[in-house]
Structure 1
Amino acid sequence: MMQDFWSPVFLSIKVSVMAVIFTAICGTLAGKWMSGKSFKGKIALETILMIPLVLPPTVVGLMLIVVFGSQSFIGKMFGAFQQSVMFTWWAAVISSIVVAFPLMFQSARQAFLSVDRDITNAARVDGAGEWKVFWMVEIPLAIRQLASGVVLSFTRGFGEFGATLMFAGNIPGKTQTVPVAIYVAYETGDMQKLWLWVAVSIIISFFFLWMSSRLK
Structure 2
Amino acid sequence: MSTDFWSPIRLSVEVASLSCLFVLVIGVWLGKAMANRSFKGKAIAETIFLLPLVLPPTVVGFLLIILFGSSSPVGQFIEWLFHQPVMFTPWAAVIASTVVAFPLMYQSSKTGFEAIDADIENAARVDGANEWRVFLAVSVPLAGKSLISGSILSFARALGEFGATLMFAGNIPGKTQTAPTAIYVAIDSGDMGTASLLAASMVGISFFMLLFLNSLKK
Q: Fold conserved (TM > 0.5)?
A: yes
Query: Offset of 1:76 from its aligned partner?
Result: 1.4
Aligned: 1:87 with 2:79: no
Q: Which runs of 4+ in 1 moved over 4 A?
A: none
Corresponding residue of 1:136: 137
Corresponding residue of 1:215: 216
2:150 corresponds to which letter in structure 1? G
Corresponding residue of 1:108: 109
Corresponding residue of 1:155: 156
77-86 or 49-58: which moved more? 77-86
Distance 1:118 1:189 in 2: 61
SS of 2:143's equivalent in the other structure is helix
Corresponding residue of 1:192: 193
98-107 or 32-41: which moved more? 32-41
Distance 1:100 1:36 in 2: 23
Query: Offset of 1:153 from its aligned partner?
Result: 0.4
1:88 corresponds to which letter in structure 2? T
Query: Offset of 1:179 from its aligned partner?
Result: 0.4
Corresponding residue of 1:54: 54
SS of 1:203's equivalent in the other structure is helix
Corresponding residue of 1:164: 165
Q: Please provide the CA RMSD for this pair.
A: 1.0
Distance 1:44 1:214 in 2: 35
Distance 1:78 1:57 in 2: 23
Aligned: 1:145 with 2:146: yes
1:114-125 matches, cutoff 5 A = 114-125=115-126
Distance 1:189 1:86 in 2: 28
Q: Which runs of 5+ in 1 are unaligned?
A: none
Q: Which runs of 5+ in 2 are unaligned?
A: none
Corresponding residue of 1:181: 182
Does the CA contact (< 8 Å) of 2:79 and 2:86 recur in 1?
Answer: no
Does the CA contact (< 8 Å) of 1:145 and 1:215 recur in 2?
Answer: no
Does the CA contact (< 8 Å) of 2:124 and 2:134 recur in 1?
Answer: yes
Query: Offset of 1:36 from its aligned partner?
Result: 3.8
